[in-house]
Amino acid sequence: MRGSLFRKNLVTTLLLAPAALWLVIFLVLPFIAIAIFSVGERAPEGGYQAALTFAQYANLPARATAFWNTMVLAPIGALACLLVAYPVAYYLALRAPERWRLILLAMIVIPFWTSLLMRTYAWMYILGGRGIPALLAYVGIQDLRLINTPGAVLLGIVYGYLPLMILPIYVSLERLDRRLLEASADLGATPLSTFLGVTLRLSLPGVMTGFSLVMILLLGEYLIPTLLGGGKVFFIGNALVDLFLQSRNWPFGSAIAITLVLVSVVVLIVANRISTRLSGARRVDLI
């Protein structure tokens, strides 16, 4: 019996060991490494020099513009995503004909899994000089600049992250107990108050999941501001690429990365609190 228990534990350990090693070596240790770097100093030739100082954190305001752009455009982008996504999720979950539902859902999932680089590139094409501005020039509107503006970045954000917002909201709406809607109507509620009091309220966990996922990914976004903001609208992600790959100020970059992770954690915790308070937390499958 002892032997079989030992063998059972051995098998469990062997099954979990590769994943555990991978998580420790490529997630936990690297995170500890940048935490250590963030309290270090920049070596004269770039890179890292051991120290224990909070100078890097005190220096964060030097990248205030990147933080400001990110902290303004990420919530606005996530909100814009939400406003577009909600009616779509609502239609898919409650209004779409049964035989169309899966096809439409697949059509939402596919863009999510296709290259963000390629999809953002498509908009460079459309908003760039030979795209919409060229078309508008035909009808007399001259010299309209669309690309490299905050508006273009916002558009790219909505385009890129719309699927990720739709899916969790769809899941929460799909699981909604339809009898509640009937009950609400039977009790004399208007469609609007049924929507506000029942549908919207019960789908809030999905809304919060979608909102926080999109927010967190936006905090680290690099491609959209780079390609559609053209160096004029830069995010924290751009500051990080600059600090690690160009100016090689790794300690300062690490401090920014740690701050970014902390902000993400706060976003997650707040979103989680809100949705557990409103109704039990729900899993969301990304496919």
Which positions from 44 through 63 interact with other proteins, judged by CB under 8 A?
A: 48
Residue 57 to residues 25, 39, 267, Cα–Cα distance (Å):
26, 8, 20
Asked if 83 is part of the footprint of other proteins (rule: CB under 8 A), the reply reads: no
Query: Which C-beta is closer to other proteins: that of 188 or that of 280?
Result: 280
User: Of 87-126, which residues contact other proteins (CB under 8 A)?
Assistant: 87-88, 90-92, 95, 104, 106-111, 113-119, 121-126
What lies within 8 Å, CB to CB, of 105 at 6+ separation is 92, 170
d(CA 287, CA 282): 15
Asked if 247 is part of the footprint of other proteins (rule: CB under 8 A), the reply reads: no
Asked if 272 is part of the footprint of other proteins (rule: CB under 8 A), the reply reads: no
To the nearest whole angstrom, how small is the minimum distance from the Cβ of residue 140 to other proteins? 17
To the nearest whole angstrom, how small is the minimum distance from the Cβ of residue 2 to other proteins? 17
Query: Which C-beta is closer to other proteins: that of 181 or that of 257?
Result: 257
Query: Which C-beta is closer to other proteins: that of 140 or that of 188?
Result: 140
To the nearest whole angstrom, how small is the minimum distance from the Cβ of residue 244 to other proteins? 6
What lies within 8 Å, CB to CB, of 122 at 6+ separation is none
What lies within 8 Å, CB to CB, of 65 at 6+ separation is 234
Asked if 223 is part of the footprint of other proteins (rule: CB under 8 A), the reply reads: yes
To the nearest whole angstrom, how small is the minimum distance from the Cβ of residue 37 to other proteins? 6
Q: Which two tokens stand for residue 130?
A: 């030979």
Query: Which C-beta is closer to other proteins: that of 122 or that of 196?
Result: 122
d(CA 256, CA 62): 11
Q: In the chain, which residue ranges form alpha helices assigned H by DSSP?
A: 2-23, 29-38, 55-58, 64-90, 98-113, 116-127, 132-138, 150-174, 178-186, 191-194, 200-219, 223-229, 236-241, 250-278
What lies within 8 Å, CB to CB, of 217 at 6+ separation is 161, 164
Question: x/- string (CB under 8 A) for other proteins, residues 126-145?
Answer: x-x-xx--x-----------
Q: Which of 1, 2, 18, 246 binds other proteins (CB under 8 A)?
A: 18
Query: Which C-beta is closer to other proteins: that of 16 or that of 141?
Result: 16
Asked if 222 is part of the footprint of other proteins (rule: CB under 8 A), the reply reads: yes
To the nearest whole angstrom, how small is the minimum distance from the Cβ of residue 284 to other proteins? 11
To the nearest whole angstrom, how small is the minimum distance from the Cβ of residue 259 to other proteins? 11
Query: Which C-beta is closer to other proteins: that of 1 or that of 187?
Result: 1
Q: What is the DSSP string of 10-51?
A: HHHHHHHHHHHHHHIIIIIHHHHHHHHHHTSEE-TTSSEE--
Asked if 206 is part of the footprint of other proteins (rule: CB under 8 A), the reply reads: no
Asked if 168 is part of the footprint of other proteins (rule: CB under 8 A), the reply reads: no
